[in-house]
Amino acid sequence: MAVTGDETESAATGDIPAYQLRSPNSGLAQSIVMAASPGSMQNPSSQHAEEITRKREVRLMKNREAARECRRKKKEYVKCLENRVAVLENQNKTLIEELKALKDIYCHKAE
DNA sequence: TAGCGAGCTCGTCATCTAGA
DNA sequence: TCTAGATGACGAGCTCGCTA
């Protein structure tokens, strides 16, 4: 297909990845800034809620990165397999040619 | 040219698994 | 047993090519 990952990511604006445009609240930096904002003078229960939110956002960010890495590795693996297929097909072709040549030699000797 | 389907990437959730 | 990382499944958004 003509659509690659990089093209898709920067398609919307030219330089801002598409996933960031879709989920503007998912950035870790932003969440940390929020947690450290003047809201830290709040009561314990809302601090607890903020802590939970922060932990969730950290988890989501890590999982987002993990998913990217997982997909990258999978792509690489598939590429490796495709290369291996190409190599084996070439080997197979070579062996068939070799066999044909040997058969020719053998047939001429037998005559 | 608008509408549609196919194919792709991405983020998120659920689940599995290995290590502490 | 708990936790963090890996991965499959799913839905959403985007692009591209085709067709009426």
Nucleic strand B under 7 Å from the C-beta of A63: yes
* Amino acid A8 CA to nucleotide C1 C1' distance, rounded Å: 43
Distance from the first to the final alpha carbon of chain A? 55
- Residue A50: predicted pLDDT: 83
- Residue A41: predicted pLDDT: 59
Which nucleotide shows the minimum CA-to-C1' distance to residue A71? C7
What is the mean pLDDT for each group of 10 consecutive residues in chain A (111 residues)? 34 30 33 38 77 91 96 94 93 98 90 70
pTM of the model: 0.66
Q: Are A84 and A49 in contact (CB under 8 A)?
A: no
Q: Of all protein residues, which has its CA closest to the C1' atom of B9?
A: A5
How far is the CA of A10 from the CAs of A1, A16, A79, in angstroms?
A: 17, 5, 24
Nucleic strand B under 7 Å from the C-beta of A71: yes
How far is the CA of A99 from the CAs of A19, A44, A56, A105, A110, in angstroms?
A: 55, 81, 63, 10, 16
